[in-house]
Amino acid sequence: MSDARLDVRKTYKLLINGAFPRSESGRSYEVTSAKGAFLANAAQGSRKDVRDAVTAARGAQAKWWNATAYNRGQVIYRLAEMAESRRDELAEHVALAEGMNSRTSQKTVSASIDRIVWYAGWTDKIAQVLGGTNPVAGPFFNFSIPLPSGVVGVISVQESSLLGFVDAVLAPICVGNTVVALASEARPTPAVLLGEMTSSSDFPGGVLNVVTGLTGELAPVLAAHEDVDGLDLSGVTFEVGDELAALAAGSIKRVFRPHEKESDSSLRRLRAFVETSTVWHTIGQ
């Protein structure tokens, strides 16, 4: 009998409203590495978990949007700092989940952290890029500002467990939305880890909610939920995406479907869940 220490295995839980509950259903599922080895147990979220996550996201929306853009940038940058300090842990999970060697996974983590920094810098610039004043033909001051769509449901890409997740959740969050994200079904742990880091980065509870579980079970719930304003379908096939997009039509959701090759510098993701609000005011003595 070996005297090696028996490791303590972590069950990866959900992130809802700043807390880490197990699924209300009590279910969990086994997550394996790319090579099929046992990696961890993850909570297998249910319809009701999705519902609770949407409620949390809705509750946090006004507070997140009413924070100053500067403050939102600080909070997101803090997340980059936290990720940097736990980069080895992230890299280990990315390596196992995605079957990478450690060098590649470190590069992926670096890219992901840099991406978080990129989004941190966008919070107080996006209004100037997407908004502006409009020279209407009359005595009115007229300006357009980007407002968040509200609550965005993200079905995160299945393959890219960290970098893809960062893009999918931080783009809507940095412009003021709150997010309910379904993590990659087979590779949920990097997303859960990043979720854990948000709770130590001054993210108000509910801004990012992460639900793990079976995409096929949870995605239709999210797509049909009428209090979800936008839906990112990055993590499903085109066929499934078509079905989910039809469900999303029930409450006229904004639906984002990635291009085959989404350019890094594209603002599509930032524009996807932004509403242009235009204000007119009379000008007179």
Interface ranges with another protein (CB under 8 A): 62, 129-130, 132, 134-140, 142, 144, 147, 149-150, 229, 242-243, 245-246, 248-252, 254-255, 266, 268, 271, 275-285
What would the two tokens of residue 90 be? 């992230």
Q: How far is the CB of 132 from another protein (least distance, A)?
A: 8
Token pair 């209090």 is found at 227
Q: How far is the CB of 116 from another protein (least distance, A)?
A: 23
Nearer to another protein, 174 or 228 (CB): 228
Nearer to another protein, 70 or 280 (CB): 280
Nearer to another protein, 41 or 144 (CB): 144
Token pair 């357009």 is found at 144
Long-range CB pairs of 95-104 (<8 Å, 24+ gap) are: 96/33, 96/34, 96/37, 96/39, 97/31, 97/33, 97/34, 97/39, 97/161, 97/184, 97/186, 97/187, 97/189, 97/190, 98/34, 98/159, 98/160, 98/161, 98/187, 99/33, 99/34, 99/35
What would the two tokens of residue 142 be? 């007229």
Q: How far is the CB of 235 from another protein (least distance, A)?
A: 17
Nearer to another protein, 34 or 130 (CB): 130
Could you give the 3-state DSSP secondary structure of residue 242?
helix
Nearer to another protein, 3 or 238 (CB): 238
- The closest alpha carbon to 23, from 212, 220, 199, 216, belongs to 212
Q: How far is the CB of 215 from another protein (least distance, A)?
A: 18
Q: How far is the CB of 167 from another protein (least distance, A)?
A: 18
